[in-house]
Structure 1
Amino acid sequence: MNDIIVYTQNDCPPCQIIKMFLKEFGFPYTEKNISINDKSKQELTQTYNSYSTPTIIIGDEVITGFDLERLKKALDIQD
């Protein structure tokens, strides 16, 4: 399994839901909070061309915004 990076920010309810979802299914992830880390914000905008949170990176796949179905597919989670 590829490493999972979740770009978040303070006061972002969808970010909290994504983190709870990943924990519930036992997927370890690295959180990068753009509210408190300028380097993470720069990575998000310049490397991934994203300006919203949550943005989830799984290998080469970039999931921008709250898209639980796409996340399930990327993680191969069956309903």
Structure 2
Amino acid sequence: MNKKVNVVVWEKQDCPYCEEVKRYLTDNGFEYRTVDISRHEALREVLLIKYGVDDVPVVEIGFGNRFDAVTEMGIPKLEKTIRHYRMSN
């Protein structure tokens, strides 16, 4: 059974790293949802509680009830996490 990988990009306006991540996901055929923390400042607290960070981009990747978050800048960690989920699928 092929499970759909869910992707959520936590972002803010005028964030070049956020745009880089979204471009990478789009170029590689991933659909994703976005959460804009610049519109809802309280969402920074959510990131802090969930992942110990309060800046973006944060990319949540998973399926079912299992999600991992990529909180490191740059594409290599994102690629590694995506590969893991594709192999698990």
Aligned partners of 1:44, 1:12: CA distance in 2, in Å? Answer: 16
**Aligned-partner residue type, residue 68 of structure 2:** E
User: Do the aligned residues in 1 keep the contact of 2:58 with 2:71 (CA within 8 Å)?
Assistant: yes
Structure number with larger C-alpha Rg: 2
- Whole-Å Cα distance in 1 between the matches of residues 79 and 55 of structure 2? 19
Alpha carbons 1:53, 1:65 under 8 Å: kept: no
Matched, 1:48 2:51: yes
Tell me the equivalent position of 2:68: 61
**1:75 aligns to 2:82 (yes or no):** yes
1:5 counterpart SS class: strand
- Structure 1: which 5+ residue stretches go unaligned? none
The structure 1 residue matched to 2:19, chosen from 16, 20, 41, is: 16
**Amino acid of the residue matched to residue 41 of structure 1?**
R
Task: Give the TM-score normalised by the residue count of structure 1.
Answer: 0.81
Which residues of structure 2 form unaligned runs of 5+? none
Aligned to 1:30: 33
Aligned-pair identity in percent equals: 26
Deviations 1:26-76 (A, max 9, x none): 101111010012453332222232211101111221111323111111112
Q: Secondary structure at the match of 1:66?
A: coil
Q: State the number of aligned residues.
A: 77
TM-score w.r.t. the length of structure 2 is 0.74
